[in-house]
């Protein structure tokens, strides 16, 4: 099938509940959650879509989610998450708005087994809130082509179903596989919306470099689009949208070359883009930013001048609560991670640069009694508990993350947090490595097996250990504030998880500092 056209009328009063939603077969759309109360110290919530009349059709436009199924729980004020996006969708549907979604791609950050599970969860969430297409970007195409093909079916009954779209990406040198689809046409509010997607030159070089067999072929976008455009136009759509997964400059050039598209949604811009559209001829070039922090709402008003309205909405925790549909999705996702036991996967296993092994905080505390006592009362010592229980007030709805490598990396001992990799002898699970639960000494001072062995040997027999060797081991374990600030703490307390940390290091350092010599 050269290009699959889907004619479907969007029903606004009911949803098809996904199997993983856990809603017991209920077909009724949940009532929109009320806005969250204003948190102390935050400005009053800014009204969104203020002054907008009900559009004939409205589109959610998004992209470059980079694996952020939710905002990390470490930062209460972090924006984003599918649960808040679903909350906004529920509010608009309650007002009678016909709404669907389009995503330019970039759903993931990595391409491991966990990311495959996350990919399916993200697409399931997007389908639940009415998305009709996801562009085949570099993140999607870093997943194995045979895996992408395995997720496809003629109907829309499984997560991928027909969401992945591209006019210039071909898998296995076969144009009629149906993955990705060349385009989609769907009805919304009584109007036809046509959408296709292209991958830019840099992305093409990344996923299908010259001379390398990848089972992926990427044609030049300017050559592929003229073949798809006539098929789109045969459907006589009321609105045509191009998803351009490339640079902003490429998007502008495509908008100029193919003015048939009234809207071009692009990647390649900043994390927090300008809220204003760029006009290229009569085409609106739009950006939605990164990590799902914002959602763009495009209103379509046929006959009006201009026929489009655009607003970029920040998905904050003040105006948007978690939609229960996405809580159910998170529960299913975490259950899959538990079933797969990914924390034990050899895919994540790497040797520690020092060649040393982890022993656990209690062993450190045999000598460093005051430091151990200080640590025991710190939040670091209870980091694992937040994965199982959540923050205060979240207990009733919290879904445990104790099997999620993305979360474990900063809440247990013996992992590389930035790359989400497990060091040899690092934490595996509560049953096997209970001594490494929590954010412990060795995550900052390095694994302590050699240091411990030397100290014990020295204590047992002063002559059995060379003093220079012992002193070198002691020096290697020391950590001053300057090194901690620049090279250690930020591995977990980065901008995403601790946005206030970098400007307040001295304050936080005092909370954990332990200068005593026992």
Q: Give me the residues paired with residue 103 across strands.
A: 62, 134
Q: How far is the C-alpha of 314 from the C-alpha of 1, rounded, in Å?
A: 39
Distance between CA atoms of 343 and 409, rounded to whole angstroms? 10
Q: Which residue has the tokens 């087994």?
A: 113
Contact call for residues 423 and 351 (beta carbons, < 8 A) = yes
Residues 317 and 304: their CA atoms lie apart, in Å, by 34
Model pLDDT, residue 11: 31
Domains observed in the chain? 58-328 (3.60.21.10), 357-447+479-512 (no CATH)
What DSSP state is assigned to residue 378?
S
Residue 137, SS3?
A: coil
φ, ψ at 300 (rounded to 5°)? -110, 120
SS3 297: strand
Contact 210, 161 (CB under 8 A): no
Tokens linked to 228: 């798809």
Query: Six-digit token pair at 260?
Result: 């048939």
Task: Look at the chain and count its residues.
Answer: 518
pLDDT at position 369 is: 95
**Angle at CA 364, nearest 5°, toward 360 and 367?**
160
- State the pLDDT at residue 41: 43
Convert the pLDDT of each residue in 5-14 to its tens digit: 333 333 322 3
- The pLDDT score that the predictor gives to residue 278 is 98
Query: How do 191-199 and 239-245 pair as beta strands?
Result: parallel
pLDDT recorded at residue 5: 38
Question: Residue 349 has what pLDDT?
Answer: 98
For residues 369 and 516, what is the distance between their CA atoms, to the nearest angstrom?
9
Q: CA-to-CA distance for 173 and 363, rounded, in angstroms?
A: 58
pLDDT of 183-203, one tens digit each?
A: 999 999 999 999 999 999 999
For residues 295 and 87, is the Cβ–Cβ distance under 8 A? Answer: no
Three-state SS string across 150-204, please? HCECCCCCCCCECCEECCCEEECCECCCCCCECCEEEEECCEEEEEEEEECHHHH
Look at residue 499 in the predicted model and tell me its pLDDT.
Answer: 80
Full DSSP string of 407-444:
HHHHHBSSEETTTTEEETTS---TTT-GGGBSS-HHHH
Q: Which residues of the chain have pLDDT under 70?
A: 1-45, 73-76, 153-161
Closest by CA position to 166, among listed 259, 237, 83, 228:
228
Whether the CB-CB separation of 407 and 401 falls below 8 Å is answered with yes
**What pLDDT does residue 4 have?**
36
Residue 470, classified by CB atoms within 10 Å of its CB into exposed (0-12), middle (13-18) or buried (19+), is: middle
What are the residues whose beta carbons fall under 8 Å from the beta carbon of 309, sequence distance 6 or more?
A: 52, 55, 298, 299, 301
Q: If DSSP codes are grouped into helix, strand and coil, which group holds residue 300? A: strand
Q: Is 393 helix (H, G, I), strand (E, B) or coil?
A: coil
Prediction pTM value:
0.89
Q: Cis (ω within 30 of 0) for the bond into 436?
A: no
423 neighbors 352 (Cβ within 8 angstroms): yes
SS3 category, 99:
strand
């Amino acid at each position: 099938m050269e290009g699959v056209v889907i004619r479907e009328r969007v029903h606004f009063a009911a949803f098809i509940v996904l199997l993983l939603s856990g809603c017991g077969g209920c077909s009724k759309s949940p009532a929109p959650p009320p806005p969250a109360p204003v948190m102390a110290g935050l400005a009053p919530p800014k009204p969104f879509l203020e002054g907008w009349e009900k559009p004939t059709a409205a589109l959610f436009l998004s992209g470059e989610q980079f694996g952020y199924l939710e905002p990390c729980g470490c930062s209460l004020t972090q924006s984003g998450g599918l649960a808040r996006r679903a909350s906004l969708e529920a509010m608009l549907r309650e007002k009678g708005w016909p709404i669907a979604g389009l995503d330019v791609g970039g759903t993931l950050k990595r391409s491991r087994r966990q990311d495959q599970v996350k990919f399916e969860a993200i697409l399931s969430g997007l389908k639940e809130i009415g998305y009709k297409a996801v562009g085949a970007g570099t993140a999607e195409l870093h997943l194995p082509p045979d895996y992408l093909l395995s997720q496809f079916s003629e109907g829309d009954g499984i997560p991928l179903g027909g969401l992945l779209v591209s006019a210039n990406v071909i898998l296995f040198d076969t144009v009629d596989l149906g993955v990705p689809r060349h385009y989609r046409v769907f009805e919304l509010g009584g109007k036809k919306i046509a959408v296709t997607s292209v991958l830019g030159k840099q992305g093409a070089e990344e996923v299908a470099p010259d001379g390398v067999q990848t089972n992926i072929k990427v044609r030049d976008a300017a050559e592929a689009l003229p073949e798809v455009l006539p098929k789109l136009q045969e459907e006589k759509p009321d609105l045509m949208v191009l998803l351009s997964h490339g640079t902003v400059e490429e998007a502008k050039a495509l908008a100029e070359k193919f003015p048939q598209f009234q809207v071009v949604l692009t990647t390649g811009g900043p994390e927090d883009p300008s809220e204003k559209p760029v006009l290229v001829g009569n085409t609106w070039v739009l950006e939605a930013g990164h990590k799902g922090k914002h959602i763009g709402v495009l209103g379509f008003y046929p006959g009006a001048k201009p026929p489009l309205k655009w607003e970029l909405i920040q998905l904050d925790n003040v105006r948007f609560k978690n939609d229960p549909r996405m809580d159910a999705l998170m529960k299913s996702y975490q259950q899959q991670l538990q079933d797969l036991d990914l924390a034990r996967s050899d895919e994540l296993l790497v040797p520690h640069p020092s060649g040393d092994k982890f022993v656990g905080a209690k062993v450190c505390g045999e000598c460093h009694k005051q430091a151990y006592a200080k640590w025991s009362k710190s939040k670091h010592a209870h980091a694992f508990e937040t994965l199982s229980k959540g923050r205060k007030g979240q207990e009733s709805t919290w879904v445990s993350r104790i099997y999620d490598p993305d979360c474990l990396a900063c809440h247990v001992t013996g992992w590389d947090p930035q790359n989400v990799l497990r060091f040899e002898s690092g934490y595996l699970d509560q049953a096997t490595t209970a001594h490494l639960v929590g954010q412990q000494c060795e995550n900052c001072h390095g694994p302590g097996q050699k240091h411990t062995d030397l100290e014990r040997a020295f204590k047992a027999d002063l002559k059995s250990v060379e003093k220079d060797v012992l002193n070198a081991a002691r020096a290697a374990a020391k950590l001053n504030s300057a090194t901690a600030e620049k090279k250690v703490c930020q591995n977990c307390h980065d901008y995403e998880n601790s946005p206030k940390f970098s400007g307040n290091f001295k304050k936080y350092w005092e909370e954990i500092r332990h200068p005593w010599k026992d």
